[in-house]
Amino acid sequence: MILILIGYMASGKSTLGRILAKKLNYEFLDLDDYIETNEKSTISDIFKTDGEIYFRKKETHYLRELLESKNNLVLSLGGGTPCYSNNMELILSANHTKSIYLKASIPTLITRLKNEKSKRPLIAHIETDELLAEFIGKHLFERSQFYSLANTTVTTDNKTESHIVEELILQLF
């Protein structure tokens, strides 16, 4: 089984994915890390050098590759992955996957993102919390139609990592 974590950047996909995988004795993979390893370049550099369209094509390519895995796997996707190239359709049509939307509020996301903007190419240029809130709100509005297609949703606001992982396990099994 492949458990796929989706949600906006900083919603906890990688952090919670690692904990969930360890608890279930599954392998953990972060799609962005997998792309960086295979492309021998950082996501930021891929965006700068080749552009977002190139990145999104590679992202779909590697997602397809991982969806063919027969291993027990927790896969953390990038925030935009479900929204491009029919990726959400690929995820939902695979018969050995369960998708989980990790839903975080705009204030939670601002708190998590404001100190790591330099590592996030889509928000690196945003200077104030107000502009960041506006950007996140717009993105969530656009992306929520894809995120909401997940098999299950878990809200992460004001919960500990262990509480969220327990909630995930209860909903999945």
Q: Is 13 annotated as a binding residue?
A: yes
At how many degrees (to 10) do helices 106-113 and 129-147 cross?
120
DSSP string for residues in 126-147: --SHHHHHHHHHHHHHHHHHHH
**DSSP structural state of residue 121:** T
Rounded Cα gap, residues 146 and 82, in angstroms = 6
Rounded Cα gap, residues 23 and 36, in angstroms = 26
Q: Is 18 annotated as a binding residue?
A: no
Per DSSP, the three-state class of 8 is coil
Q: Is 15 annotated as a binding residue?
A: yes
Q: Is 120 annotated as a binding residue?
A: yes
CA distances from 61 to 35, 39, 57, 72, 76 (A): 9, 12, 6, 20, 15
Q: Is 11 annotated as a binding residue?
A: yes
Q: Is 79 annotated as a binding residue?
A: yes
Q: Is 64 annotated as a binding residue?
A: no
Burial of 130 (0-12, 13-18, 19+ CB in 10 A): exposed
Q: Is 14 annotated as a binding residue?
A: yes
Known binding-site positions: 10-15, 32, 56, 79, 120, 143
Known binding-site positions for Mg(2+): 14
Known binding-site positions for substrate: 32, 56, 79, 143
Known binding-site positions for ATP: 10-15, 120
